Amino acid sequence: MDAFTGEPVEVQAEQGVITAVEPLLERPSSLPWLSPGFIDLQVNGYAGADYCSADTSLEAIARSLEAQFACGVTRLFATVITGSPEGMVNAIRNLARARRELPRGRAIEGIHVEGPFISPADGPRGAHPRAFVRPPDIDEFRRWQDAAEGLVRMVTVSPEWPQAPAFIEAITGEGVVAAIGHLDAAQEQIDAAVRAGARISTHLGNGCHAALPRHPNYLWHQLAEDRLAASFIVDGIHLGTDFLRVALRAKGVERSVLITDAVAPAGCEPGPYRLGDVDVELRPEGRVTLRGQQQLAGSALRMDHGVENLMRLAGLSLQEALTMASRNPARIGRIEHRQRGLQPGERADVIEFDYDAAAKSIRIRRTWLGGEVVWQG
């Protein structure tokens, strides 16, 4: 059953590409639902694998991909956060190697570098280590891209740096998505970043001061800017339900993206872990924080649970939630052949799932990556 049309269909694929989507002449009494596979534009690690560390083995990265296939994820932007110049380059090189050498490494669609060109201020900086925050530097970006073998596809930067507009213009000119986030910026600085080519706010509503002026403030500026899409961590922890609902109304589903911002402890037992140069812990209630503190440091969210939370907390329909998890990240992340849904010519990244409308829950049955079954429940 096509989850977007509600029609019973058969999807055919060859050589990793959908070749036909044919209606079934007879409607069976029971059919699973079909959707394009999920795309996570911000995942720092999973199942114990820390993407921000060059010491993470290829075997650990492979396990993390398998764990995400079980959640319906078919493509992701592996994310590296603020660290030392050498440490970040080495982590990026390690991810590029995983993409190249792992049998299913193609699931790493690209690399998202979140920082180090962010606000140094407490609050907006979030869990990023202050010692390594620095101004935008196009030469450093090019070192990343060399190490990444061209895989850097998104960079999050704060518009408050005087160098930000020129940096954004330079990377967007090379086909990289410029995101703004972890910022302490005035309206005119946000406007300058958008004019330079910034197109998405990273995990809007998080990476902020604990208290803000009623107006103006950088949340209102981003919500009101129609040229900016926004990503949201919908785990029931990072955002209050009222803010989530209002933000989605301001952006519209068409400019909204579901992300996990998952870190290494996601999918693991509670306890201590590492996120790049930062000590974190997964608490029993599912919160990931700086070790011994209350400051959030990424999430333990699964993408399939994020889809459920969009329906339960934000009141979205199944189709709207799936759009935020599949077609929107493909479009905003500039991922080719993933933007039109279940259509001939698109990649055969597909999930089969059961849907309980009353409970607003989904259960992944099978996940295909480029026509290959990579997970079966």
Please, what is the average pLDDT of the chain? 97
Strand arrangement, sheet containing 278-282: 271-275, 278-282, 288-290
- How do residues 132-184 score in pLDDT, each as one tens digit? 999 999 999 999 999 999 999 999 999 999 999 999 999 999 999 999 999 99
Which pLDDT score, from 0 to 100, does residue 368 have?
98
The answer to whether the predicted template modeling score (pTM) of the entire model surpasses 0.75 is yes
Using the predicted structure, report yes or no on whether residue 28 has a pLDDT greater than 90: no
Averaged pLDDT for residues 282-300: 94
pLDDT tens digits for 202-246?
999 999 999 999 999 999 999 999 999 999 999 999 999 999 999
Give mean pLDDT, residues 313-334.
Answer: 98
Query: Rounded to whole angstroms, how far apart are CA atoms 194 and 32?
Result: 42
pLDDT above 90 for 46? yes
Per-residue pLDDT at 291 exceeds 80? yes
**pLDDT at residue 372 in the model:** 98
User: So what's the pLDDT on residue 212?
Assistant: 96
Written as six digits, the tokens of 334 are 């500039």
Q: Which domains does the chain have, with CATH numbers?
A: 37-338 (3.20.20.140)
Q: How far apart are CA 233 and CA 265, in angstroms?
A: 16
Point out which residues pair with 35 in neighbouring strands.
Answer: 351
**Long-range contacts from 355-361, C-beta under 8 angstroms, 24+ separation:** 355/3, 355/33, 355/318, 357/318, 360/308, 360/311, 360/312, 361/308
Predicted confidence at residue 18, as pLDDT, reads 98
Residue 289 pLDDT: 95
pLDDT exceeds cutoff 90 at 26: no
Mean pLDDT of 53-67: 98
3-state secondary structure of 95: helix
Alpha helices in the chain (DSSP H): 58-69, 85-101, 138-147, 164-173, 187-196, 218-224, 241-251, 303-314, 318-325, 327-332
277, pLDDT greater than 90? no
Cβ-proximal residues to 327 (8 Å cutoff; 6+ apart), any chain:
36, 338, 339, 340, 341
